[in-house]
Amino acid sequence: MHRLDAKGIDENAVATISEIAARAGVSVATVSRTFSHPHLVRSKTRDKVRAAIDEFGYRPNAIARNLRRQRTETVIVIVPQIQNTFFSGIIHGIEAVAHDRGYKVLLGETRGDQVRIDHYADLISTRTAEGLILLGSLLPTAVRSAMRDGAPLPIPLVLACERFEGLACPTVAIDNVAASKTAVAHLVAQGCKRIAMISGPKGNTLSEDRLAGYRAALAEAGLPRDPACEAHGDFSIETGHAAMRALLALVERPDGLFCASDEMAMGAREAIRAAGLRVPQDIAIVGFDDIRFAAFMEPPLTTMRQPAKEIGETAMQLMIDHLEGDPAACPHRVFASDLIVRQSTLR
């Protein structure tokens, strides 16, 4: 299939190493060495091999090489949804480092589906990929049971942007508690007295951390905490919109809002507009992530910037260190996140 054309001469199929060896009048070992360890081959011999290769178009078969070397130099990146701008920023960073270091990136999208995540994690057991970079808050079943049993991790794993209690593996993230505290303190400084939050899904460490930061900031400012002001979404525009409508229905309307993602802030902003209220005069908003579109909202959105690309780059770097270096090492990289102040909080 797709290998032989009508004349039986294969234009596409690459010659094998033994054909090249025969054409060049050397052994397969020499051809192999010409690629992998050229310094072991006399330059005259190399030229013979190169000539044969130029003539017959040899490209070494990566599958055979992988089998022999027991390596694929491939990592799989599991992401809840590729369309999320923050995640695609991380993937951008991952791909950059992977490419530079000669690794390949397999992409798996989960959409919150445990079956899909396990399917992709299985690619490690079957040796299709060597390691797993996890962007979401869902863990493969195999990892979960290892955690429960206190067993070592069954697969090389790096967490980007999420952390799990009791899971010892390389992690890169920001300090979500501190970041949220800063964000909410900014709202306090702008004079907000009743600050609501739309966080991520319950039970998700990242969401809990951001919620904790929010609460800490309120406490520090001496503002009362009202459970009715704590809403949850799934980081999407739609859930931000819905959550804000609920918050607007409260008898005591909030005058400040902190969202755990810019997308939710976008949805919330729309709900506020629909209610005939103004941002920031009636309600000031702080988002999270600083996605590309935050600066182009109306008004431009104040937000906690996460260095998505750097997070991705670091995650891939940690993965390579893990695969090529000491697999017992378990570094944690924490990035700073900056508050980007724009008009949505300036009143």
Q: Which is nearer to DNA, 37 or 148 (CB)?
A: 37
Residue pair 257/198 in contact (Cβ under 8 Å)? The answer is yes
41, 51, 84, 149 from 30: Cα distances, Å: 7, 14, 49, 49
Q: Which is nearer to DNA, 41 or 272 (CB)?
A: 41
Residue pair 174/334 in contact (Cβ under 8 Å)? The answer is yes
Nearest to 303 by CA among 255, 273, 261, 264: 261
Structure tokens of 104?
Answer: 């390949």
Binding mask 55-94 for DNA (x = CB under 7 A): ---x-xx-xxx-xxxx------------------------
Judged by CB under 7 A, does residue 123 bind DNA? no
Judged by CB under 8 A, does residue 141 bind its own copies? no
Please give the radius of gyration of the chain, using alpha carbons only, rounded to the nearest integer.
26
Q: Which is nearer to DNA, 61 or 83 (CB)?
A: 61
- Site for its own copies, residues 142 to 171, rule: CB under 8 A: 151-152, 154-156
> What are the helix (H) ranges across 127-232?
141-149, 176-189, 205-221
Selected binder of its own copies within 64, 168, 228, 329 (CB under 8 A): 64
- Site for DNA, residues 173 to 232, rule: CB under 7 A: none
- Rounded CA-CA distance 119/80 in Å is 14
Selected binder of DNA within 23, 26, 133, 190 (CB under 7 A): 26
166-170, Cβ contacts within 8 angstroms, sequence gap of 24 or more: 167/139, 167/143, 168/330, 169/330, 170/318, 170/319, 170/321, 170/322, 170/329, 170/330, 170/331, 170/332
Judged by CB under 8 A, does residue 346 bind its own copies? no
Nearest to 260 by CA among 322, 209, 224: 209
Judged by CB under 8 A, does residue 267 bind its own copies? yes
Query: Minimum distance from CB of 154 to its own copies (Å)?
Result: 6
26 touches, from its own copies, DNA, none (C-beta below 5 to 8 Å by class): DNA
Judged by CB under 7 A, does residue 322 bind DNA? no
3-state secondary structure 137-165: CCCCHHHHHHHHHCCCCCCCEEEECCCCC
Cis upstream peptide for 299 (omega within 30°)? yes
Q: Which is nearer to DNA, 61 or 114 (CB)?
A: 61
Strand pairing category for 302-305 and 338-340: antiparallel
Judged by CB under 7 A, does residue 7 bind DNA? no
Stretch touching DNA by CB under 7 A, among 23-31, 105-113, 148-156, 239-247: 23-31
Phi, psi at 318, each rounded to 5°:
-65, -40
**Cα atoms in the Cβ-side hemisphere of radius 13 Å centred on 157:** 27
Amino acid at position 61, single letter: N
Judged by CB under 7 A, does residue 2 bind DNA? no
Q: Which is nearer to DNA, 56 or 164 (CB)?
A: 56
Judged by CB under 7 A, does residue 130 bind DNA? no
- Rounded CA-CA distance 24/42 in Å is 14
Query: Minimum distance from CB of 122 to DNA (Å)?
Result: 14
Judged by CB under 8 A, does residue 89 bind its own copies? yes
Query: Minimum distance from CB of 339 to its own copies (Å)?
Result: 22
Where along the sequence are the contacts to DNA (CB under 7 A)? 14, 16-18, 25-30, 32-33, 35-37, 39-42, 44-45, 58, 60-61, 63-65, 67-70
Where along the sequence are the contacts to its own copies (CB under 8 A)? 1-2, 5, 11-12, 14, 59-64, 66-67, 72, 74, 77, 81-83, 85, 88-89, 91-92, 95-96, 99, 104-109, 116, 119, 122-123, 125-128, 151-152, 154-156, 237, 266-267, 269-270, 292-293, 296-298, 323-324, 327
